Structure 1
Amino acid sequence: MSEEEKEIVVKIKRFSKEKGSWWQEYKLKVDRFTQMTEVLRRIKTEQDPTLAYRASCHMAVCGSCGMKINGEPRLACKTLALDMVRKYGKNEITIEPMDFFPVTKDLVVDWTDFYNRMFKVKPRLYPSKEVLEGKAEHRLKPEDQRELWKFEQCIWCGLCVSACPSVKNDPEFLGPAAHAKGYRFLADPRDTIFDERLKILIDSAWRCTYCYQCFNVCPRDIEPVTTIKKTRAYTKFLREKTPVALTGEKHAEAIVKSIEESGKIEEAKVYISTYGLLTAITDMIYAMQNGKLRYALVTQKKVKDMEQIRKIMGE
């Protein structure tokens, strides 16, 4: 065997409605150019024609080959087999269907809920009546195009949703992919349904926990979490705010006030300002019962040169 070729063991989590889940092993030789989509193709054509998976473009454009490779949500076509061997220091590679998505068969998952969330944000431009009638045309300034371009690159692969803990725990959270697509049109000056779109996005935006997993796994470097932050900044334009949005605003204001006063985020003060004294006392009792109260009682000292902090905050 040449230095550029290596035998690997591929463990695939299989699934069928009749048999349930089980792990199955395959062995094959790969070289430094072998993508994981090629690994799956060779397993299916040379060893096991019953294996089910999705793949189409093989160049990180269609987004159909999303799966978990060694526990990471990845595009199989953008993942080289020997890169995973080097990264984890062993010639065994595990492949599983993405989290959150119901499994249909083997690595094929059901996209129904994902598409429902994406379509809920109305993922297309709604131009003015004059434009539709051919009486006017939309112009997009270069600075507007620069703001939108990154977020236009979403390929609906679902990796960010697979990695997101909030979307699994909160059915009201639309998910990072939907927010990336929603903000792309929210920030587009040519769009005519700003108020309607804002109402759809704001409550969900304040449900994100900022774990940055969507940022880490996105194959197109779209940074969905950035769109959520930017969407939150539009809360002031919303006429009727949900309790979640109101709490979110109070939390942001409390953080700003804490930094202006001490140069730090004083968690205890921020929590009381955000949720109120009654909720804080209730949670304090819970923290005391679980031995975590000492963290809330840590005395914070102001940072030096507070005038510099305030100057930065003013800018």
Structure 2
Amino acid sequence: MENEQEIVVRVKRFNQEKGEWWQEYKLKVDRFTQMTEVLRRIKTEQDPTLAYRASCHMAVCGSCAMKINGEPRLACKTLALDMVKKYGSNVITVEPMDFFEREKDLIVDMEDFYSRMFKVKPRLYPSKEVLEGKAEHRLKPEDQRELWKFEQCIWCGLCVSACPAVKIDPQFLGPAAHAKGYRFLADPRDTIYEERLKILVDSAWRCTYCYMCFNVCPRDVEPVTTIKKTRAHTKFLKERTPVAETGERHIEAIEESIRETGKIQEASVYLKTYGVLGSLIDLIYAFQNGKLKYALIKEEKVKNIEQVKKLMGE
């Protein structure tokens, strides 16, 4: 076939007996060849022991999530020659997703991911009247527009594999769970709003806003947007965790700093968020490393501060 090109696929293999090792395979592909097709051909034509997951080949099921040239991607949505062109090399590396425990080769254990997803109760809880057939729920077009993007999550796990907060904070539910949780939190037909809010708010304030989930999501779900929107619901929660309270103080401190100076004065915001006692350890660290002087800088207000206040609705 015309325009065929030979590629070298380096797969990070793994099994319980041997541990991990790299293995190379060579094959010819054309401009239409997806990475799922590459793996299928390797398995059927060269090495039947290679293990991977794939199902729909249409970016709907989320089964073929893995790292390709170090990027968290769906193999079915990745053309082999696109990777060659992007990286200027015919060598393509394929690895299992980060964070998850490996089962074999490119297959990872998704049990922890599913448990996080189910914690947010990922289904609609309608009213008693609807369940009894005495009424029906109608969804307004504007509500549907709000929910539609966040309904597109296919549970692939790529956002979780790329998320640094999940790796360091076991109490952070992860971006996928927040996307699914907010989808129902914002649904006016749902009847367990308070319960969902308790599940989601503390976790939402544990996000570090690195935007990795935004970058790797194959369906443009924007999980980080759902986390921001969930934080905005904190004011409706009667009992807040220390993490949520700290988060709200931080937002208030930023707003106050901008209102008064037109800038985000980091030192002032930090002190107002954590208080002097709460900041003491970090202040000592800053002093030891010669950085305390930056905290003592008194910046001037921006010119025309009244315009800033006007923009803030004052």
Shorter-chain TM-score range? over 0.9
- 1:1-315 superposed matches below 5 A: 2=2, 4-314=3-313
Give distance in 2, aligned partners of 1:72 and 1:101. 15
Q: How many residues align?
A: 314
Q: Which runs of 5+ in 2 are unaligned?
A: none
Give distance in 2, aligned partners of 1:50 and 1:292. 55
SS of the residue aligned with 2:312? helix
Closer/same/farther in 2, CA of residues 28 and 297 from structure 1, 3 Å limit = farther
SS of the residue aligned with 1:34? coil
Q: 1:288 offset after TM fit, Å?
A: 2.6
Give distance in 2, aligned partners of 1:188 and 1:173. 23
Q: 1:279 offset after TM fit, Å?
A: 2.3
SS of the residue aligned with 2:11? strand
Letter in 1 for 2:209: Y
- Percent identity, aligned pairs only, is 81
Closer/same/farther in 2, CA of residues 296 and 91 from structure 1, 3 Å limit = farther
Letter in 1 for 2:231: R
User: 1:30-49 CA deviation, whole Å, 9 max, x = no partner?
Assistant: 11101000110011011110
SS of the residue aligned with 1:240? coil
Q: Normalising by the residue count of structure 1, what TM-score does the alignment of the two structures yield? A: 0.98
Give distance in 2, aligned partners of 1:35 and 1:259. 49
SS of the residue aligned with 2:67? strand
Q: 1:294 offset after TM fit, Å?
A: 4.3
Closer/same/farther in 2, CA of residues 263 and 84 from structure 1, 3 Å limit = same
Q: 1:146 offset after TM fit, Å?
A: 0.3
Give distance in 1, aligned partners of 2:83 and 2:257. 44
Letter in 2 for 1:185: F
SS of the residue aligned with 1:276? helix
User: 1:268-314 CA deviation, whole Å, 9 max, x = no partner?
Assistant: 00000000012223201112323443443444232222111111111
Q: Which runs of 5+ in 1 are unaligned?
A: none
Q: Single out whichever of 224-233 and 4-13 deviates more from structure 2.
A: 4-13
Q: What RMSD over aligned residues (CA atoms) do the two structures have, in Å? A: 1.1
SS of the residue aligned with 1:12? strand
